Amino acid sequence: MKISIKSLVLNSRFSRETTCYQATFCVNGIPAFTGENNGNGGSDFYRALDGKRELLHAAEVFAKTLPPVKYHDMELPMNLELLVSQLIAARDIEQRYDRLAKRSALVVKDGKLWSYKKPTNASITELITALVARGEKVLNAMPRDEALELFRTVG
């Protein structure tokens, strides 16, 4: 079974103790349920889309079969809320990467992320090409999965 995000609206402005969001989730590619959290520390609220109650239930059962999550020195049993939080965190990182990579060259140097804005008289592609020619580790020039993994660790 595959659970994925179809649409996501994050609101970090209202996120206090938990992530404030509204999203639609798919189960095996079929839009199945919505989820939301108001960001004040409460649990997520899920609502099955019309006629999709069985898919929401199947997603809840499936999530419980996944391995536990390591958090500091504890192991938390997986459930739908933890799975959704992992999906949202991954999507948030992807969106941040995409925003930065669109307007800057992202370079990893000495375990830190550096962002180079393009000069006014050059394109972002020219900047990336020049940095790669200098031997820099440019995320924009890497395969997306590899760049995202590196971005997660240093970004």
Alpha-carbon distance of 12 to 102, in angstroms, equals 21
Q: What is the pLDDT of residue 144?
A: 95
Q: Does residue 125 sit within a domain?
A: yes
Alpha-carbon distance of 115 to 100, in angstroms, equals 8
- For residues 112 and 68, membership in a common domain is answered with no
Q: What is the pLDDT of residue 123?
A: 85
- For residues 71 and 111, membership in a common domain is answered with no
Q: Does residue 39 sit within a domain?
A: yes
Question: Based on the structure, what is the number of domains in the chain?
Answer: 2
- For residues 81 and 142, membership in a common domain is answered with no
DSSP notation for 83-130: HHHHHHHHHHHHHHHHHHHHHEEEEEETTEEEEEEPPTTS-HHHHHHH
Rounded to 5 degrees, what angle do the CA atoms 122, 126, 129 make? 155
- Domain boundary, last residue among 93, 111, 132: 93
- Domain boundary, last residue among 41, 67, 93: 93
Q: Does residue 98 sit within a domain?
A: no
- Domain boundary, last residue among 93, 114, 131: 93
Q: What is the pLDDT of residue 66?
A: 97
- For residues 147 and 80, membership in a common domain is answered with no
Domain membership of residue 89 as a residue range: 3-93
Written as tens digits, the pLDDT of the chain (155 aa) is: 999 999 999 988 888 888 899 999 999 999 999 999 999 888 999 999 999 999 999 999 999 999 999 989 999 999 999 999 999 999 999 999 999 998 899 999 999 999 998 877 778 889 999 999 999 999 999 999 999 999 999 97
Q: Does residue 36 sit within a domain?
A: yes
- pTM, two decimals, is 0.84
Alpha-carbon distance of 81 to 74, in angstroms, equals 17
Q: What is the pLDDT of residue 8?
A: 95
